[in-house]
Amino acid sequence: MSAQGSFPRHIDYRRAALEQRSFDGVLTLASLPRTADIVVEDTTADVSVALAFDEDVQRRVIVRGRAQTTLALPCQRCLEPADVPLDAEIVGMPVATDEAAAGVPRAWEPMLADGGTLDLYSLVDDELLLALPITVHCDRAACVAAYSQDTTDETIGSAESDAESDRRNPFAALADWKPRSDETD
């Protein structure tokens, strides 16, 4: 891997595809502001990035690659930092306009580029955010013990209450409103 200084921020993606160029490098988390904003502690983490540019049979630019890092994200149970490894697969097709994005095949993700240049740092930032897990839970014994519940009793109780509610008629209260036949005479 090369240092961040040799990993370009902006590239001409058409030219890179024509030349079938590859870019490997290590980016600092500080250079990816949106991803750095969600990290709890260590914003000095490095992100390993590998990108390859090519053309498909219709001469459309294709980007394939991977971004890997480990981030300290807040545990959703105890709010303490939890190390979360991320491995973001990057597969897409750079396009210059929203109209061109509509023509991208379903197998590829459209990547909106500014004119003929693609911001690789923003691309990696986007892909890391998309690779985040829905929830983060740490593996600390204290956290697991404090916040995990024995659901056996709750499951039995909820099954009994479900059976009880099925026996009750939800419209029973309306029966009191119905006029009785002996009262109308």
Please write the tens of the pLDDT for every residue from 132-161: 999 888 877 767 666 666 444 454 455 555
Low-confidence winner among 17-31, 93-107, 145-159, 167-181 (lowest mean pLDDT): 145-159
How much is the average pLDDT of 171-182? 74
Both 51 and 83 in a single domain? yes
Both 155 and 77 in a single domain? no
- Number of folded domains that form the chain: 2
Residue 3 is predicted with a pLDDT of 44
Whose CA is closest to 124, among 54, 32, 42? 32
Residue 152 is predicted with a pLDDT of 42
Residue 179 CB-density burial (10 A; 0-12 exposed, 13-18 middle, 19+ buried)? exposed
- Residue-number span of the structural domain to which 156 is assigned: 142-179
Whose CA is closest to 48, among 70, 61, 67? 67
Residue 65 is predicted with a pLDDT of 95
Q: Of residues 176 and 150, which shows the higher confidence score?
A: 176
Both 129 and 146 in a single domain? no
Tell me the pTM: 0.72
